Amino acid sequence: MSNEENALKGFLTKYKYRDFTSKEVTSLIQVYRGLTYRLEAFVFNNGARKDLLNLEGTIPVNYKGAYYNIPVCIWLMDTHPQNAPLCFVKPTPDMSIKVSKFVDSNGKVYLPYLHEWKPNGSTLQNLVQCMITAFGELPPVYSKPRNEVRAPYPAGPFMPQPAGYPYGQLPGPPKQPPYQTPIQLPGPPKQPPYPTPIQLPGPPNQPPYPTPSPYPATSNLPYPNFGTPYPGPANMNGTPYPPNFAPATSYGPSPDVAGGTITEEHIKASLLSAVEDKLRRRLNEQSQQSQAELETLRRTQQELREGKTRLEDILGRLQRERTDLDKNVATLQEKEKELQSAVERLGGQEGIDVDEAVVTTAPLYSQLLNAFAEEATLEDAIYYMGEALRKEVIDLDTFLKQVRTLARRQFTLRALMHKCRQKAQLAC
């Protein structure tokens, strides 16, 4: 098994969680021998191609007490298990996809387990189990009609074909009785007017005649090593049971029936009954398929309506933002015009004296303004005295003497400004 794991890891060189994916795939194919793996190119809906691991083969599905091998393929993303796999039903040439709530017309599988995929809790084995359960409830495929040349008089009973043959040729009553020789039929003289099947010796638990089933009895699958051919019921030796059944018919008290002769009326009545049953099954099948397609269209309609609502909300928000932007642009244009007019007005005026630019309204404010201007001047003088000392323009004694004088004057001005602020009831 180590060689197989090494070969599998060679396929998973581009996978983010290679060891985990290899271990899970190995455990899955040990349980379901009908699955095998290969590295193939997968084309997404946007046209992008990517090499992904494809688990291809058949899984056993129990439908009405019989096991059928359903052909499927499971594509693992390169980020597995962070993203859910893509599952498809892969019908053989003699099968067709049966649309249901689990499978669409392209064969893609839709399951709640895939929708609720959890990277830390979901596994491939549980996914296959969910597929088996879902397909056991609603089979995903049915057999296509076989192009066979029928004998003028059918050798079997006049019974309709099993369900799942929606496009077969309808039998019709023959123009003439194909056989003129009398046939001796077993049974007591009085029997029901229509043929009834009887159980003959054969494999155990086999129905007396083919029961309605969406699967053909045999098929040529491209998976010769995946067990029994899908979807016929398999016995212990891996081969499908043949439909062992035979008619035992006898008719009413007419003289011909009592003598064992099948008349044209009997053949016509049997054929009409078979056609009626077959048409009824076809109508039911078409109705179910139409219901599934209608449900898909309803879901699509609901999604489109929700998308329309979201788009309308986005358009409304964009419209509001555009209106606000237009208002801001208009405001900026008005302010720009005001600034231009102010610049033109100031450009035409004469120069303003700096000392006359600021005029106080009271003597107290004038005293406060003069004290503040002088204090700022002393601050600059002290700064430049320090620069002169640093550049050795003046000596230290001169610096200390001048700074002491300037600082004393600065302290007096600050005390004066403080009193003026208190007098004017300003913040100190």
Residue 32 lies in a domain: yes
Residue 354 lies in a domain: no
Question: Cis ω on the peptide bond leading into residue 231 (within 30° of 0)?
Answer: yes
- Least confidently predicted of 27-41, 99-113, 136-150: 136-150
Residue 343 lies in a domain: no
Domain around 62: 1-143
More confident residue, 163 or 391: 391
Contact (CB, 8 A) for 252 and 138: no
Integer angstrom CA distances of residue 346 from 330, 351, 355, 399:
25, 9, 18, 45
In tens, the pLDDT along 37-85 reads: 989 999 888 888 888 999 999 999 988 888 889 999 999 998 999 999 9
Domain boundary among 119, 143, 167: 143
More confident residue, 240 or 303: 303
Dist. CA 56–CA 36, nearest whole Å: 5
Residue 404 lies in a domain: yes
Domain boundary among 111, 143, 175: 143
pLDDT over threshold 90, residue 322: yes
Residue 406 lies in a domain: yes
Residue 57 lies in a domain: yes
Domain boundary among 105, 120, 143: 143
pLDDT over threshold 90, residue 164: no
- Least confidently predicted of 1-15, 84-98, 99-113, 183-197: 183-197
Instruction: Specify which residues 43 forms β-bridges with.
Output: 49
> What's the whole-number mean pLDDT along residues 22-28?
90
Model confidence, pTM? 0.37
* Domain CATH for 68: 3.10.110.10
- Quick one: pLDDT band at residue 2, thresholds 50, 70, 90? low
Residue 372 lies in a domain: yes
Q: Pick from 179, 234, 173: which is nearest to 203 by CA? A: 234
pLDDT at 323: 94
Tally of domains within the chain: 2
Residue 152 lies in a domain: no
